[in-house]
Structure 1
Amino acid sequence: MRLGLTISRLAAAVVCNFAIRSSAEPSFDSKFSASDLSALQQLLQQYADKLAAADFQGAWSLLAPNAKVTFTNKLLGGTPETASTQAEFVAIYKKASFEGKLTQSLSKATLLSTSPFSVQLDGTVSTDKGPLPNTPATFLTKWVFNGDHPGPGKIVSVDDQIVSLASSTPSSNAQTSSPSSSPSTSQVPNQSPVKAAPAPSAATSAQSGGKIAPVQNPSPVKAAPVPSAATSAPSGGS
């Protein structure tokens, strides 16, 4: 029991820390006016109201056409999912909140001891409608469920808060591609053999054997001049 309570407290602390860090000072582009930001806030509020009523088609209609929605659910592994059609949009929300996958994930973390409980998702919305066309807005969505098992009609409120606003799509793509930081780790192994080439040479030879072989080949070349002592004799004769 104590272990379960400890785990639940730790998990709750992680969620709270994530909420505090995500809801820090918004980084808005200075070229957007206050009226533009206010209009976008109203758009997200309407969007949140539609989601709270489980009206996914209505929420999508606020963003379409040519809308792209990318969500990262921290509690379901943190894998970004992008919806560019209404079907994909509905599927993401149903998978995240209505089909029990989120409940199972929370149950493993023993977060269901408190009711109501909240779930947070990072999201990036880019829409052609509204005062800021083709402008991705990164927001934090907080789901508040009433009950231990979320299901249709169990959502109490959905609170969307903009945490950043980009003026061009490439910037948002750069943010969403942040998980691609893994290639940077691939560069670290390339540097470590350079520092300690003799020790891991056997292991690295499988990867860069072509590079290590030329290094070992010169050593026989140096061994070959050893017989050149015979040639040094004629030089001595001269």
Structure 2
Amino acid sequence: MVTISPHPPHPLDNPAWAALTGPHARFAERVGRAARYPLDVSPFTAFSDQADPRAWDDLAALVGPGSLTPVAGADVAPPVGWEVVEAGRGAQFVDTALRAEPAPEAVRLGPDDVPEMLDLVARTRPGPFLPRTVELGTYLGIRHGGRLVAMAGERLHPPGWTEISAVCTDPEHRGRGLATRLVRAVAAGIRERGETPFLHTAADNANAIRLYESIGFTLRRRTAFLLVRAPGPA
């Protein structure tokens, strides 16, 4: 007898899969039960069900023998043959009381701004940002003297939700509330579409967690991620 769960899975329980099989399907590189973004867009890979060994087999076929790949939301150990190279913990927050509003000084960032965006990310390390990440959604920035000093934008896009990501400020311009203004502005655009903002941060990033909770985000769940090597020689 087949048992049917009375509650369908929440999109944020497996957000990369929900995005790659939903609003971001145009980006998806997929083999059966595994999918990923193009390598110059985002490092995220996803499974339909991480507890299914067949999904790991599909991921191995997708990434190739001996390849390194990150796995977000990794709550189970990989099957025999996979090597865990690195493991970490994160935290997922959802908007419950954020005051979303435009930032008049913010400018829309696009492909022509990518070199500056990559430079800012390299100096501030907010998380993965690649040459085509800007294609995932709206990115806003603040300039000082013509130089990009802060930015934030949209990344994962499960149905009904949009992740705020790449929130970063040049060290010389911190303490002015730039990150908060950009998060509020990006959230305003998300809310205009009838969606709800959410975000992720490293579990040990106390400053980011303190900021997000202070402006109206609430912890939804703890997360995990792995960097794994697929079976076989590279």
TM-score in terms of structure 2 length: 0.24
Which protein is bigger by CA-based radius of gyration? Answer: 1
| Higher relative helix content | 1
